[in-house]
Amino acid sequence: MSAEIHLFSCLTDNYGVLIHDPSTGATASIDAPEAAPVEAALAEKGWRLTDILVTHHHADHTAGIAALKAKHNCRVIAPRKEAAKIGNTDVTVREGDMVSVGSMVARVLETPGHTAGHITYWFKQDKIAFVGDTLFSVGCGRILEGTPQMMWASLLKIRNLPADTKIYCGHEYTAANVRFALTIEPNNSALRARAEEIVRLLEQKKPTIPTTVQQEKSYNPFLRADLHSVSGAIGMEGANPESVFATIRARKDKF
């Protein structure tokens, strides 16, 4: 049986996500922005929390861990490089490690840049990746603890996943990301279609995620820094992709 996903809002613009294995009843929360919405989501679905898979140490991804662990005695899995900052950690993981949630298995990809130890959980068989604050739909995370080179390499790792991989990210930032992306590629037809779709979804108060690797490759400027259409648009044709990416990221920081 394939994984079931439940997506819900937390805090101002964070997403909480539960992934549930129907065959064993195991359920993991991806990050824990705050305990109450995770508890409400578990109650709504009738699922029992067995694991918390942490992507990075920021408080808006970890503040709910202590209360959830105290109540459910769940296992907390966290990036080895940030475990000391996260606390309440049972298992630390790094690049290439496998994490089992019931019968489901995630491979750990180190995707630093937003934070120095940020990781992504890729459930290959279920074709799902939980990318935290590394990649957003039509955008990417701010580079707070790394370099543009590091972030570009992390984004390439995600871009290289199978095209039909569903992407769940940590925040609903898509509308602002689309506004920025249109300043880079105003004539990208996939991006223009996405812009229209976003207006419709947000009007209906629906999430704009999950997205897919294939979709993001078609309209996310941060995954397209090695294409002429992007480098040319900012007057950097022929420049290396890291420099193009760094320039776009710096523009977005000021946007």
Give the interface with Zn ion as residue ranges (CB under 5 A). Answer: 58, 133
In angstroms, what is the minimal distance from the CB of 196 to Zn ion? Answer: 29
In angstroms, what is the minimal distance from the CB of 218 to Zn ion? Answer: 25
Would residue 57 show up in a list of annotated catalytic residues for this protein?
no
φ, ψ dihedrals at 23, nearest 5°: -75, -25
Residues 20, 57, 72, 114: which is the catalytic one?
114
Of 133 and 185, nearer to Zn ion (C-beta) is 133
The region that residue 93 occupies, defined by phi over 0 for left and psi between -120 and 50 for alpha, beta otherwise, is beta
Which residues, listed in sequence order, are joined to residue 152 by a DSSP beta bridge?
A: none
- Using CA atoms, how far residue 14 sits from 21, 94, 127, 235, 237, in Å, is 23, 24, 22, 35, 36
In angstroms, what is the minimal distance from the CB of 35 to Zn ion? Answer: 18
Would residue 58 show up in a list of annotated catalytic residues for this protein?
yes
Residues 21, 31, 51, 58: which is the catalytic one?
58
The identity of residue 114, as a single letter, is: H
Would residue 118 show up in a list of annotated catalytic residues for this protein?
no
Would residue 31 show up in a list of annotated catalytic residues for this protein?
no
- Using CA atoms, how far residue 40 sits from 45, 60, 182, 199, 233, in Å, is 9, 18, 37, 28, 46
The identity of residue 69, as a single letter, is: K
Of 13 and 237, nearer to Zn ion (C-beta) is 13
Residues 21, 31, 51, 60: which is the catalytic one?
60
Residues 61, 72, 118, 126: which is the catalytic one?
61
In angstroms, what is the minimal distance from the CB of 114 to Zn ion? Answer: 6
Cα separation, 146 vs 50, whole angstroms: 32
Of 126 and 133, nearer to Zn ion (C-beta) is 133
Query: Can you tell me whether residue 84 is helix, strand or coil?
Result: helix
Of 37 and 170, nearer to Zn ion (C-beta) is 170
Would residue 61 show up in a list of annotated catalytic residues for this protein?
yes
Which residues are part of the catalytic machinery? 56, 58, 60-61, 114, 133, 171
